[in-house]
A and B are shown apart, each in its own frame.
Chain A
Amino acid sequence: MDAQARAIEDVYRRRFVAFRNSLASVTGSSDTARDVVQDAFAEALRKRESFRGEGALEAWIWRIALRLAFARRKADPTMELTEIGESELPQPEAAPALAEAVKQLPPRRRLVVFLRYFGDMSYLEIGEVCGISEGTVAATLAQAHHELMTTLEQRGASA
């Protein structure tokens, strides 16, 4: 394989679990998310020559993966990442209070939260994936933290 393919493989090996857990919040199940991750990296391999090095390789793969995940959820293969769809905490029964609080967030804010905490991504990386600035990521997360806290407190479930 060429160097670009090796780079994609390296991202896959290091970040598979983060991709799958993040995408599970979009697809609704871990199994479907795994399937999407496999498809996303396969697509990245096929189209690797179209990656021009503008931004991080991993961010490029995240965009492919999220587009496929949202498309899978809507059963619409033409859906673009700009059309942020619904996502929720996978296995909501494991943390009902948090699941409910997350559900109250607007879709884009929710996605940023998932990328941060399931994807373990930096503000910079989230910004690259979502096409927003690092400052906007920080502001979005700050708003999300506040909203989550409020909802959790209302439910009497805050730590």
Chain B
Amino acid sequence: MTGLRDSELRERFFAVAEEHDNSDWDEVVARSGINSPQTRKPKLHPRALLAIGASFALGLGMAAALGVRLHPAAAAAPLPGPKRVERLVPNGTVKWLFAHEPRGQSLTAADIRLGSTVGAHWQPVKFARVLTPDSRTDAKIVLSLIGKHGRNVCMTVFFPHAGGGGCAIGLSLRPFNVSLLSGTDVAPDGGFVLAGVASDDVARLKLFLPHGRQRTVTLKDNTFVASVTEADSPATLAAYDSHNLVIGRFGQRPVGSLRSGLPPVR
């Protein structure tokens, strides 16, 4: 007897897990007793911001934070779009990446130093390519394979003045892995940017906005980038498989606005 496989158990637990999201960050702040959040712009070199991008699997980082706060009314609004994942897809992968197919650009051609990519300081980089998810933006996304056998996928998102990223161990990508970026350099109107890598299971991505509006998000070489203004928040990015079933979702309420009236702190 071999016992239950990891993926089988995951399916069983998934079936009884509650997907409803009743989070409320304002309430957390209120409970903490912190009542005077200060706006502070970290004095970091743009490259240094790469170290604090939102991460996946390992939980290595955070959103690029440039001193913002929630807009209470928008923060309380329900997330639009699908409320639950309809099919669980564990162990996602990006076949062309593992086949070392030279899509996009090399790091050299894109003038990106290997040392500025997430994961390069932890494990040897076996393969890396620079992708442009949407030619209408300045975003570049580096997908790299690190580790002794090059089995761990890392993603680094580059904007001109900000970035983010993270890594997943082994051949176990989630349907999509999102880096959340905010702040004046990437979203001057108080909105945010969702950028990331989607597994081969994802056929298309759709962004759900308030009042029933929707936007298709371009998926190119398994990468994507989507800007959301504060007025368009909250938003939900949903991933669909080839049968049009929801296989991943990421909801985001407004991350704040520098027009909130808070004085700048030096």
Interface status of B202 (Cβ within 8 A of chain A): no
Question: Given A13-B25, A20-B18, A21-B17, are A117 and B9 also a contact pair (CB < 8 Å)?
Answer: yes
* Residue contact A98 to B57, C-beta cutoff 8 Å: no
* Residue contact A16 to B23, C-beta cutoff 8 Å: yes
* Residue contact B38 to A30, C-beta cutoff 8 Å: no
* Residue contact B3 to A6, C-beta cutoff 8 Å: no
* Residue contact A56 to B5, C-beta cutoff 8 Å: no
Bound CA–CA A112/B69 (angstroms): 35
Interface status of A85 (Cβ within 8 A of chain B): no
Bound CA–CA A56/B14 (angstroms): 25
| A140, chain B: closest CB distance, angstroms | 13
Bound CA–CA A43/B29 (angstroms): 10
Interface of B is mostly: loop
* Residue contact B59 to A13, C-beta cutoff 8 Å: no
* Residue contact A117 to B13, C-beta cutoff 8 Å: yes
* Residue contact B37 to A1, C-beta cutoff 8 Å: yes
Interface status of B111 (Cβ within 8 A of chain A): no
Bound CA–CA A98/B11 (angstroms): 12
From 18 to 52 in chain B, residues with beta carbon under 8 angstroms from any chain A beta carbon are 18-25, 27-29, 31-34, 37-38, 40, 42, 52
Stretch at the interface among B60-68, B126-134, B139-147: B60-68
Contact bitstring A93-113, B, C-beta under 8 A = 1, else 0:
011001000000000000001
Contact bitstring A49-73, B, C-beta under 8 A = 1, else 0:
0000000111100000000000000
* Residue contact B63 to A6, C-beta cutoff 8 Å: yes
Number of A-B residue pairs, CB cutoff 8 Å, is 137
Which of A5, A39, A90 is B37 in contact with, Cβ under 8 Å?
A: A5
Q: How many residues of B contact A (CB 8 A)?
A: 51
- The size bracket of the interface on A is 35 or more
Chain B residues with CB under 8 A of A41: 28, 32
Bound CA–CA A4/B5 (angstroms): 38
Chain A residues with CB under 8 A of B109: none
Chain B residues with CB under 8 A of A59: 59
Question: Given A2-B40, A5-B37, A10-B180, are A98 and B59 also a contact pair (CB < 8 Å)?
Answer: no
Interface status of B73 (Cβ within 8 A of chain A): no
Interface status of A75 (Cβ within 8 A of chain B): no
Bound CA–CA A115/B10 (angstroms): 11
* Residue contact A94 to B58, C-beta cutoff 8 Å: no
Question: Given A2-B38, A3-B42, are A145 and B16 also a contact pair (CB < 8 Å)?
Answer: no
Chain A residues with CB under 8 A of B4: 145, 148-149, 152, 158
Chain A residues with CB under 8 A of B60: 56
Among B13, B15, B20, B33, max chain A CB count under 10 A is at B13
Chain B residues with CB under 8 A of A141: 6
Which of B1, B29, B63, B69 is A149 in contact with, Cβ under 8 Å?
A: B1
* Residue contact A11 to B32, C-beta cutoff 8 Å: no
Chain B residues with CB under 8 A of A16: 21, 23
* Residue contact B21 to A17, C-beta cutoff 8 Å: yes
* Residue contact B3 to A149, C-beta cutoff 8 Å: yes
* Residue contact B3 to A24, C-beta cutoff 8 Å: no
Chain A residues with CB under 8 A of B149: none
| B127, chain A: closest CB distance, angstroms | 22
Question: Given A24-B18, A149-B1, are A56 and B32 also a contact pair (CB < 8 Å)?
Answer: no
Question: Given A42-B28, A149-B1, are A6 and B169 also a contact pair (CB < 8 Å)?
Answer: no
From 226 to 258 in chain B, residues with beta carbon under 8 angstroms from any chain A beta carbon are 250, 252-253
From 1 to 50 in chain A, residues with beta carbon under 8 angstroms from any chain B beta carbon are 1-3, 5-7, 9-17, 20-21, 24, 30, 34, 37-39, 41-43, 45-46
Q: Which 6 A-B pairs have CB atoms at the shortest separation, nearest pair first?
A: A6-B65, A7-B62, A117-B13, A42-B31, A58-B59, A42-B32
Known: A13-B23, A17-B21; 7 extra A-B contacts, CB below 8 A, are A5-B34, A10-B65, A10-B180, A14-B250, A16-B23, A125-B59, A145-B4
